[in-house]
Amino acid sequence: MSAGNTTIERPLVDKQGQMPEAQRTANAMKAFAQDFGRTASIYLESCIHCGMCAEACHFYEVTGDPKYTPVWKLEPFKQAYKREHGPFALFYRAFNLKARVTEGELEQWQHLLYDSCTVCGRCSLMCPMGIDIAGLISNARHGMAQAGLAPKELREAADRGSAPKDFKDRISRLAAEHGVDIPVDKTKADILCTVSSTEIEQYPKSIVATARIMKRLGANWTFRSDGYQANNFGLLAGDAQRQKEASMKLIEAAIACGAKTLILPECGHAYGALRWMGANLYGKPLPFKVLHISEFLADSMRSGKLKLKRLGKSVTFHDPCQSSRRGGVIDAPREVLAALGTELKEMFPTKGTNWCCGGGGGVVDIRRADALRHKVFHLKMNQIDETGAELAVTSCTDCRKTFDDGQARFKWDKSMNSLVELVANNLIEA
């Protein structure tokens, strides 16, 4: 179970809260039960154990270890389902055809459900039976989080809530430093922009870039300190309550300033969290449009409001799994790159079947998963090298963090660029 050759300083399993073993499994069952229902049932009743999902998973691809078979990661959740919820649940319980979920089993599955799963959904795309395995992984994480068995880093980030707390000061310092006007907490605005906490910590230029673009478009936009963090550690950790709190902040902030559009930053899971899950958490359709920033840029391009210089370079685009494969934002970034006059050299595979960078789903933040993630990174490097493109671009900060970490570790000659920064640096000033 140890991930490759790194020494493990802390115990393999992270645990939160002092509770007896029975309590942990009870909490896990409580969360699992909340995710039972027709969709989970249809999926869990369809698996024919063909093992093909392993062929799609980058963790299996680089290790060849059968335990990384995606559907195997669902085993605890599937056990709970068969015993509690399936049409033959009575017989499964009576004859104990499926054992009860045990705490030992949950602990063992922490490595499978978090360290070795970026919830990238490539397995769901492969499954001949049409099972959305990635979707069920998120459900399974609910049980783990409720049982206090989420990885340390994700649990802390989820509990922290919006970060950094001094968002407003940081933004004003940034604005001053880069001489650009970044409105915060305007009472009324057409567009509410949001950031990823990774952008604030590591890639502040993206925020500046966003501000420049908005200024160039003359948009009536603002950030809101009561709702600015778009990336959602509640979702990554599997804590449904934290996830809802984070999303509700954004929704309420948007309503408060009467925004007609909410723009999500360059982040994969942030898009899914709000665009596709926001309304269901809110309980009714969202009163505003939700766009990934690459979608917004493509729209602005199409409407002619935004003119860009021609880069004249060959480019390859890394599709972030959550926004591209699972979110459907595939064409927008490519339209922007075209508008930048670049020659797009697609990787193979790309778009919906692209390999994951290995850092999504919170994996990049889990220190003990580094060794495993680095193994996966080779796939990405080869893929990009093969295109021979001069520039590598993506539209997700978690991906950028993974690429930068990989580049540092393997002294890779390429570095990953942000689409938004690229656009901002090539604006044609009116």
Partner 1 sequence: MTTLGDTLSASGVSRRAFLKFCTALTSLMALPPSMAPAVAQALAKAKRPSVIWLSFQECTGCVESLTRTNSPTLENLILDLVSLDYIETLQAASGFAAEEARQHAMKESNGQYLLLVDGSIPVADGGIYGTLAGESFVDMLQESAKGAAAVVAIGSCASFGGLPKANPNPTGARSVSDIVKDKPVINVPGCPPIAVVMTGVLAHYLTFGKIPELDAQRRPLAFYGETIHDRCYRRPFYDQGKFAKTFDDEGARSGWCLYELGCKGPITHNACATVKWNAGTSFPIQSGHGCLGCSEPDFWDNGSFYKALATADWGGAKAIGTAAAVGVAVGAAAAYAARKRQNRVSKEG
Partner 2 sequence: MDLLTFVRGPGMQWAAAIFVVGILWRLVGILLLRGKKDLSEPRKPGWRGLRLLALRSWPRKEFLGGTAFGEIMGYTFHIGFFVALLFYLPHILFFEDVAKGLIGVNFKQVFGVGWPYLPGGAVYFFSAISVAALFAVLIHRIASPVKRMLSNFDDYFSWFVTIAPIATGMLAFSHFGGPYPTLLGLHLASVELLMIWFPFGKLMHAFTIFLARGTQGVTFERKGASL
| Piece of 66-74, 157-165, 215-223, 363-371 that binds partner 2 (CB under 8 A) | 66-74
Asked if residue 56 binds partner 2 (CB under 8 A), the reply is yes
* Nearest CA-CA partner of 357 in 333, 337, 381: 381
User: What is the C-alpha to C-alpha distance for residues 154 and 134, in angstroms, rounded to an integer?
Assistant: 18
Q: Looking only at residues 82 through 111 of this chain, which bind partner 1 when binding is defined by CB under 8 A? A: 84-90
Sheet holding 314-317, edge to edge: 343-344, 314-317, 391-394, 416-418
Do residues 234 and 161 touch, judged by C-beta distance below 8 A?
no
State which of residues 1, 42, 99, 408 lies at the interface with partner 2 (CB under 8 A).
42
Rounded-to-integer distance, Cα 231 and Cα 269, Å: 7
Between 24 and 249, CB nearer to partner 1? 24
25 or 194: CB nearest partner 1 = 25
- Selected range binding partner 2 among 186-194, 234-242, 283-291, 401-409, rule: CB under 8 A: 283-291
Handedness of CA 318, 322, 324, 329 (dihedral sign): negative
Q: Give the shortest CB-154-to-partner 1 separation in angstroms.
A: 22
Contact region with partner 2 (CB under 8 A), list: 60-68, 172-180, 188-196, 379-387: 60-68
**238-271 as b/e: b if 16+ CB within 10 A:** bbbebbbbbbebbbebbbebebebbbbbbbbbbb
Range 397-430 burial, b when 16+ CB lie within 10 A, else e: bbbbbbbbbbbeeeebeeebbbbbbbbbeebeee
Structure tokens at 213: 């673009």
The contact mask relative to partner 2 for 104-133 (x = CB under 8 A, - = no) is: -----------------x--xxxxxxxxx-
CA-CA distance, 176 to 266, in Å (whole number)? Answer: 23
| Cα–Cα distances in angstroms (integers) from residue 224 to residues 60, 67, 193, 232, 412, in the given order | 42, 44, 8, 16, 38
Residue 410 interacting partner from partner 1, partner 2, none (CB closer than 5 to 8 Å by kind): none
Let me know: does 138 contact 30? Beta carbons within 8 Å: no
**63 interacts with partner 2 by CB under 8 A:** no
* Per-residue tokens: 229: 């963090």
Binding status of residue 188 toward partner 1 by CB under 8 A: no
Question: Minimum distance from CB of 323 to partner 2 (Å)?
Answer: 10
Which does residue 348 bind out of partner 2, partner 1, none, counting CB within 5 to 8 angstroms by kind? partner 2
Coil, helix or strand at residue 213: helix
Nearer to partner 1 (CB atom), residue 64 or residue 283:
283
Binding flag, residue 72, partner 2 (CB under 8 A) = yes
**197/383 with CB nearer partner 2:** 383
Distance CA 181, CA 195 (A): 16
Number of residues that bind partner 2 (CB under 8 A): 63
Q: Does 205 bind partner 2 (CB under 8 A)?
A: no
- Residue 351 found at the interface with partner 2 (CB under 8 A): yes
> Restricting to residues 4-43, which ones interact with partner 1 according to CB under 8 A?
25-34, 36-37
Q: Is 50 in the site for partner 2 (CB under 8 A)?
A: yes
Amino acid at 2: S
Closest by alpha carbon to 403, among 387, 420, 385, 423? Answer: 385
**Interaction between residue 170 and partner 1 (CB under 8 A):** no
Residues that bind partner 1 (CB under 8 A): 25-34, 36-37, 84-90
Residues that bind partner 2 (CB under 8 A): 36-39, 41-43, 45-52, 54-56, 60, 66-67, 69, 71-72, 85-88, 121, 124-132, 135, 275-280, 282-286, 289-290, 324-328, 330, 348-349, 351-353
